[in-house]
Amino acid sequence: MIKYVGVDDLNVDLFESQYVVKNGMSYNSYVIYDEKIAVMDTVEFAYANEWLENIKKVLNKKVPDYLVLHHMEPDHSGAVQAFLKKYPTTTVVGNAKTFVMLKQFYPQLVLANKKEVKDGDKISLGKNDSLTFVFAPMVHWPEVMMSVDNGILFSADAFGKFGALKFEDNWDDEARRYYHGIIGKYGVQVNQLIKKLTPFNIRAILPLHGPIIKETLAHVIDLYTKWSTYQPEDNGVCIFYASIYGNTRKAAMRLYDQLQMKNSEIIDLARFDLSEAVSKAFYYKKIVLACPTYNGDLFPVMKTFLNALAERNYQGRTIALIENGSWAPIANKKMKEYIDVYFKNCDIITPTITMKGAITSDTVQQLNLLVGALKK
């Protein structure tokens, strides 16, 4: 029997101090109740009492035999001290790296009982439940491991999403933003994990954030396969622009209007959530970057955006460039440098467009050519 004992965090403003989570966040935790009892992960420190109350309700006055720590990031390990204060004899289960990090984050912690597991180890909980440990380094930290119990995968951060469980928002959108924001850099490791899990015949996924995945399992695995191999989900176009006085914006809008494609979007980088912009850049096959020159460099929001993509191994896309600069335009050169140095396997399509202020008849002509190139 598996019972949910996690919590919803409706107070968090920025998850990891950077991601806007208007619907909060869930920190999931479960109790597996067999002849032996295992608590799967803890929660963020501020929710320790609520979580311990949830555990108490399902324990029937028993003491848990195991506390399994799949991931040491404090949104999941934050209540470990509170737990061990209440249940000091419970055996803490982790791997060699888990216990190193446990000491780093909680130097005062005294462990009465611990069990160090290796990749593939099993712990039987009784007649019905048995945990098999599957190491998943760098999904999202090096110590991350998962466990499988009768085809049910406790997946740590993987397959999670932003948003508290009490809200029913769009799984794809908030899981995509979460994936590209938090795990996206580690596509290779995520893809290896998907392959490693194949023999387990997974029938449900219980991530540390977001809802249980069961009915939509095939769809979710399909999306994770695409995301982890950096494939676009849509052949359309997303235009990302920055504009100081509106001229670059006018060019970007003209391009967007002339494209007349259902699968196209236009985003003002100065007024759009960065993590959402990043996830849109991964979603589409083709992107347009339109940017003014500023202090002999890129306008700051474009630089931040390109940095965020580079950190996440952006690759395999078709990119068009538009620059604006009154006396020494250099934005296209700078954007091309980013693409050449930090992005992999991206094609820059022609024409690359230079504006020196307002749109001219030459700009219009060039934009028309770009429309044709983007529609190919």
> Is residue 334 involved in binding ligand FEO (CB under 6 A)?
no
Q: What distance in Å separates the CA atoms of residue 149 and residue 238, rounded to the nearest whole number?
A: 42
Nearer to ligand FEO, 152 or 182 (CB): 182
Q: Which stretch binds ligand FEO (CB under 6 A): 73-81, 88-96, 215-223, 328-336?
A: 73-81
Q: CB-based contacts of 107: which residues, under 8 Å, 6+ apart?
A: none
Q: Which stretch binds ligand FEO (CB under 6 A): 67-75, 109-117, 129-137, 198-206?
A: 67-75
Q: How far is the CB of 141 from ligand FEO (least distance, A)?
A: 6
Evaluate whether 70 touches 147 at the Cβ level (below 8 Å). Answer: yes
Which residues lie across from 3 on neighbouring strands? 31
Nearer to ligand FEO, 140 or 249 (CB): 140
Among 21, 67, 76, 293, binds ligand FEO (CB under 6 A): 76
Binders of ligand FEO in range 152-171 (CB under 6 A): 157
> Is residue 75 involved in binding ligand FEO (CB under 6 A)?
yes
Nearer to ligand FEO, 90 or 155 (CB): 155
Between the CA of residue 203 and those of 4, 17, 71, what are the distances in Å? 17, 34, 22
Q: What distance in Å separates the CA atoms of residue 234 and residue 285, rounded to the nearest whole number?
A: 6
Evaluate whether 283 touches 234 at the Cβ level (below 8 Å). Answer: yes
Among 9, 21, 64, 71, binds ligand FEO (CB under 6 A): 71
Nearer to ligand FEO, 140 or 334 (CB): 140
| Per-position b or e across 302-337, b if 16+ CB within 10 A of its CB | bbebbebbeebbbbbbbbbbbbbbeeebebbebbbe
Among 5, 131, 205, 208, binds ligand FEO (CB under 6 A): 208
User: 351 preceded by cis ω (within 30°)?
Assistant: yes
Q: Which residue is nearest to ligand FEO (CB)?
A: 73
Between the CA of residue 156 and those of 68, 81, 140, 236, 282, what are the distances in Å? 11, 20, 9, 32, 23
> Is residue 44 involved in binding ligand FEO (CB under 6 A)?
no
Q: How far is the CB of 119 from ligand FEO (least distance, A)?
A: 19
Reference 39, options 87, 104, 109; nearest CA is 87
Q: Which stretch binds ligand FEO (CB under 6 A): 71-79, 225-233, 290-298, 301-309?
A: 71-79
Q: What distance in Å separates the CA atoms of residue 255 and residue 69, rounded to the nearest whole number?
A: 51
Contact residues for ligand FEO, defined by CB under 6 A: 71, 73, 75-76, 140-141, 157, 208-209
